[in-house]
Amino acid sequence: MLRTISFGLIALALTITQTNAANKTAAILASGTYVEARTCDVWTGPCFANADFNIGGKNGVLAWRIDKGQAGDVSLDGLSVVAVLSAANTLGLDQTSPAKTVIIVDSKANAAQRDALVRFAQQQGGKLLSNVVKVHAQPIEIKGCPCTKDACYEVNATIAKVKTRCLDAEHDKVCGNEIAFYPPLTGNLKARPAAIVEHAFRGTGLGETYSDSDRRAAYVGTFEVK
């Protein structure tokens, strides 16, 4: 009898181990809202952008609110993840050394969901998010309606915050030939440029904190990975 129970427990443990391993390598399918903020203008004229090369724009926030998502048997519905970057060079340019990334995972997530959220952010950010120096668990709220043309979005991840607004043709045009000079840092998006009202990081892990505002430095919209 004891031997039968022992074999049953071993089989159960092996099943759980195999399931966890499968979840950690399973493809992640997800869709939802995306917000990106940088510390240099992304909607700008080439002359202004060229003047910023490797001077500004080395910090950024990438935020995903997953409305529907799955990693193997792990549901990611309703969860969010935020990546905060500190790069050696202007984001969007070739990097002379690896960028440092702090990832903030939704405090509502369990251990398996947190692992999947980190993996999802790294998959979307690619090489730029390969060097994760710290993972925080914090309450995250990402507000904004992709169904309208309004670009007023907010990201509140406690230690990282972003607030955006629509670009204004009169207020935001400087040289008159502005374009989306720097594309978004991730793929699988339907996103449009927006202006920054607030953009700040007040956490640990990067060796710095920062605060920025009043820039044409955001992207807002939706993502879908399928």
* pLDDT band of 177, cuts 50, 70, 90: confident
Strands 28-38 and 154-156: unpaired
152, 137 Cβ separation under 8 angstroms: no
In a domain, 192, yes or no: yes
Q: What is the pTM of this model?
A: 0.88
Give residue 55's pLDDT: 85
Residue with structure tokens 């979005």?
Answer: 153
Residue 62 vs residues 6, 19, 21, 110, 142: alpha-carbon distances, Å: 48, 30, 27, 21, 11
* pLDDT band of 18, cuts 50, 70, 90: very low
In a domain, 92, yes or no: yes
Where are the strands (E) in 41-175, listed by range?
43-44, 59-71, 74-75, 79-86, 100-106, 132-138, 141-143, 154-156, 160-165
In a domain, 21, yes or no: no
Closest C-alpha to 50, from 171, 179, 167? 179
Residues 31-44 have a mean pLDDT of: 96
In a domain, 1, yes or no: no
Q: Which of 5-9, 30-34, 86-90 has the lowest mean pLDDT?
A: 5-9
Q: What is the pLDDT of residues 213-223, one digit of tens each?
A: 999 999 999 99
Residue range(s) defining the domain that contains residue 151: 28-225
102, 206 Cβ separation under 8 angstroms: yes
In a domain, 16, yes or no: no
**Cα–Cα distance, 124 to 156 (Å, whole number):** 20
Give residue 4's pLDDT: 58
**Cα–Cα distance, 69 to 78 (Å, whole number):** 8
Query: How many separate domains does the chain show?
Result: 1
Q: What is the pLDDT of residues 144-172, one digit of tens each?
A: 987 777 899 999 999 999 999 999 877 88
* pLDDT band of 12, cuts 50, 70, 90: very low
In a domain, 85, yes or no: yes
